Amino acid sequence: MKLLEYEAKQLFAEEGIRVPTGILVSKHEEILLHMDELAGKVVVKAQVDVGGRGKAGGVLMADHDTVIEKARQLFNTTIKGVPVTRVLIEERLDIRHEYYVSIAIDRAKKQPVILFAETGGMDIEETAQKEKNAVRSVSFCPLLPDVPNFLLRELCGDSPAEIQKTVNRLYHVFCHKDALLAEINPLVTTPDGVYAADAKLIIDDNSLARQGIAINRDLSEREREAEKHGFSFVELAGTIGVIGNGAGLTMSTLDLIEFYGGRAADFLDVGGGADTERVMHAVRLVASVPSVRVIVVNLLGGITRCDEVARGIIAAGVAIPVIVRIAGTNAEEGRKLLSEKGYEMLDTMDHVVKKAVEVAG
């Protein structure tokens, strides 16, 4: 789950990373309560989960006299289509230099990897493309509690010692918060020391409970419902609903839909041993996706019993056509139950998918 800048900064500060003092508001009028704290120059920052926010007009410079107007301006616009519901007003840092640092997992090495550039800021992507050596990287054993000093030196070159310390503190955030990404761009030097001028933190969805996060905001309501039932579920842009068991079978169903010129509306893997109730919830969930015109159920009976699957489909009782291919354990009985209720069944995956593409139009 992605955290917003102000949330990430709070967690960074807990690990000793210096962040500018700031005030979070959800209406420009709220700023009136804080006018004495806003004596000097400030930065007004839209709290939206959008890359390239600054360039899209989401970061504005202001002072005591203009801060309310600038905040109002942000509340009245969208940044790359995202409405602004919260604005962070921060003391403006006297930036001398901008660095870039981010920590992620190198999946090939199965180790944390730290990227660092001496020329950070809004143009980091272009810089990285233009200059091959602009971004340095190191990876190391994930069991180490700190980034080894020799690697910090290799990474940060001649940058100030405080920069290296901050990189190590960011690594602590990364570990303690079960992050997939921890980034500071720009990490800045000022006459008063080193600060994180921006902050980005993505927490591993598998760790949300451990991190005390009750709701994954990045999921749609339907995706949350699916999580509750333990389905692997992803909403897609097409019109053909898909329910399968096993990621492989479900993926190949999706592939076949594409092959025949259709577009899948979702990926839903009910998992092993799906019973009547699970199948019922799966069918209802997929039927609730607004774009779905037809549902393909492609299930292989093993531990899963096809008669239970049939009962689940019937119990769901959705109005959208459901086309079924079941094979394996108790398939015979399942087919009998479904045909009594008038469901369309075909015996190969190829046939159900072709039929569904036809029905979806």
Which partner, Mn ion, ligand GDP, none, binds residue 38 by CB below 5 to 8 Å per kind?
Answer: none
Instruction: Give residue number: closest CB to ligand GDP.
Output: 54
Q: What is the pattern of x (binds ligand GDP, CB under 6 A) and - over residues 34-73?
A: ---------x--------xxx----x--------------
CB 211, min distance to ligand GDP, A: 23
- DSSP-derived secondary structure for 127-148: HHHH-TTSEEEEE--TT-SS--
In terms of Cα–Cα distance, which of 239, 353, 251, 358 is closest to 287? 239
Q: Which of 163, 164, 174, 198 binds ligand GDP (CB under 6 A)?
A: 198
Residue number, 91 or 275, with CB nearest to ligand GDP:
91
In terms of Cα–Cα distance, which of 269, 226, 229 is closest to 249? 269
CB 199, min distance to Mn ion, A: 8
CB 313, min distance to Mn ion, A: 49
Residues taking part in catalysis: 100, 183
Using a 10 angstrom Cβ sphere, with 0-12 exposed, 13-18 middle and 19 or more buried, the burial of residue 100 is buried
Q: Which residues contact 330 (CB under 8 A, 6 or more apart)?
A: 301, 305, 306, 307, 308
Q: Which residues contact 297 (CB under 8 A, 6 or more apart)?
A: 243, 244, 279, 283, 309, 313, 322, 323, 324, 325, 326
Residue number, 194 or 286, with CB nearest to Mn ion:
194
Is position 93 an interface residue for ligand GDP (rule: CB under 6 A)?
Answer: yes
Tell me 4's DSSP state: P
Which partner, Mn ion, ligand GDP, none, binds residue 121 by CB below 5 to 8 Å per kind?
Answer: ligand GDP
Number of chain residues interacting with ligand GDP (CB under 6 A): 16
Is position 321 an interface residue for ligand GDP (rule: CB under 6 A)?
Answer: no
How far, in Å, CA of 329 to CA of 189, rounded?
Answer: 66
The residues in 114-153 that bind ligand GDP, with binding defined as CB under 6 A, are 121-122
Residue number, 200 or 278, with CB nearest to Mn ion:
200
In terms of Cα–Cα distance, which of 191, 190, 192, 174 is closest to 182? 174
Chain residues in the site for ligand GDP (CB under 6 A): 20, 43, 52-54, 59, 92-93, 95, 98, 121-122, 185-186, 197-198
